Amino acid sequence: MISRNLFKGNLVSMTASVFILTLLVLLDINGINYAFSKVSQVIMWIIWFLSIPSYLSYRSSLLERGEILEYLAPIAIVITFVGLIFLSVGKFLGIELIVFGYIFEPIAGVSIFLTLKKVSVLFSSLFFYGAIVFTAGLPLFLINLGIISIIGDIIKMFGLAYFIYKFK
């Protein structure tokens, strides 16, 4: 059975995914330097702030191998915070740190995947592997292949949408 906190974590993650998708599309259209725009930075700060209630909700869920999420998600949150600070002062290192921080997302998501796959292997796989494709696609914005990351985020959202609908 899915806990209420797992449902809340999925809901917050879906909200963040909508902001992420918006940002990815903007970056794909305008190029990587658009990350330095005020619009992009506001979106990234919103995504970062959403990571906290998402983490807290998932952490208080009864996740399989919950220690993976418990220890790795805070590392991602701290690294992306530092990246956002650097980005806010116009340093490209900020983008690099944000991408590095996101590497921990699918790893921390193993706990969620293992828990959700008891309900649906298909949709938990969409969620998990979508997150991997999203993360792996982030550096590809540098060579105008950001569409890979966009596709990954959309796939992840399909998986999340199923669990949100199923357990509303």
Contact present, 15 and 22 (Cβ < 8 Å):
no
Asked whether the predicted pLDDT for residue 2 surpasses 80, the reply is no
User: How many domains, the chain?
Assistant: 1
Question: 1-10, 11-20, 94-103, 132-141: which has the minimum mean pLDDT?
Answer: 1-10
What is the number of other CB atoms lying within 10 angstroms of the CB of residue 154?
A: 16
What does the alpha-carbon distance between residue 7 and residue 98 come to, in Å, rounded to a whole number? 26
Report DSSP letters for 29-40, one per residue.
HH-GGGGGSHHH
Work out the widest C-alpha separation in the chain, in whole angstroms: 46
pLDDT band at 1 (very low <50, low <70, confident <90, very high): low
Q: Which tens digit of pLDDT belongs to each residue from 27-79? A: 999 999 999 999 999 999 999 999 999 999 999 999 999 999 999 999 999 99
> The domain containing residue 140 runs over which residues?
1-54+62-167
* Those residues with Cβ within 8 angstroms of residue 33's Cβ, 6 or more apart along the chain or in another chain: none
Distances 4 to 49, 105, 167 between C-alpha atoms, Å? 21, 21, 9
